[in-house]
Amino acid sequence: MDEDDEVMAPMVDALTGAMAAILLVSIFMMLSTLSGVNESIKQYGQEALYKNEILMKDVFKREPPIIELKSNKLLFFTSFKLSDMQKEKLTLYFKKQLPKKITIYSGNEKNIITYNTLLFLNDVGLDKVIDDIEIEFLPSNMKGITEFVWELK
């Protein structure tokens, strides 16, 4: 039996060395994969922050919208801020005749559309009669442009 052990000893040593090498390579691969996932998460976070920063800058860069009273429309890109003259003009316009329906055409996210709608209703004094107005949200036909269209009673 001692002869068998002596013959098998080099093979067992080689097998042990090979298993150790495979184990080390496997551990190295797992560690490199984990660091790659970490980098992916960092990159995703930076991209998300950048997109959010652009959106916030755009939301705070509000300009007066285009108002077409003859066709009952208000047009703007992403966000708006009615000038004092526009607020006064639309408030008087809606005091004469309330809208029965407002249709909002927009390709923006729901929270931005909701914010813009509430801002519009508040600025022109329609927030007090919001229950009497039907509001409908539809996708925009014009890329990047949000359009408020109202039908009068």
pLDDT given for residue 143 in this prediction = 76
Segment 46-55, tens digit of pLDDT: 777 666 665 5
Residue appearing with tokens 């039908």: 151
Q: Is the pLDDT of residue 61 over 70?
A: no
pLDDT given for residue 90 in this prediction = 94
Q: Distance between CA atoms of 10 and 16, rounded to whole angstroms?
A: 10
pLDDT given for residue 73 in this prediction = 93
Q: Please tell me the pTM assigned to this model.
A: 0.59
Q: Distance between CA atoms of 9 and 3, rounded to whole angstroms?
A: 10
9 vs 130, higher pLDDT: 130
Average pLDDT of the chain, as a whole number: 83
Q: Cβ(76)–Cβ(123) under 8 Å?
A: no
Nearest to 132 by CA among 112, 111, 152: 152
Task: For domain 66-152, give the CATH number.
Answer: 3.30.1330
Distance from the Cα of residue 138 to its chain's centroid: 18
Q: Cβ(103)–Cβ(138) under 8 Å?
A: yes
The alpha carbon dihedral of 116, 119, 123, 127 has a sign of positive
pLDDT given for residue 58 in this prediction = 55
Least confident interval from 17-21, 33-37, 122-126 = 33-37
Segment 98-115, tens digit of pLDDT: 999 999 999 888 888 888
Question: What's the pLDDT band for 77 if we cut at 50, 70, 90?
Answer: confident
Q: Distance between CA atoms of 87 and 53, rounded to whole angstroms?
A: 29
Q: Which two tokens stand for residue 8?
A: 């098998």
Q: Distance between CA atoms of 153 and 151, rounded to whole angstroms?
A: 7
pLDDT given for residue 7 in this prediction = 76
Domain range annotation of the chain: 1-61, 66-152
Question: What's the pLDDT band for 85 if we cut at 50, 70, 90?
Answer: very high
Q: Is the pLDDT of residue 66 over 80?
A: yes
For helices 2-60 and 110-123, the axis angle rounded to 10 degrees is: 20
Q: Which two tokens stand for residue 85?
A: 């003259």
Nearest to 119 by CA among 152, 151, 108, 142: 108
At residue 39, the 3 state secondary structure works out as helix
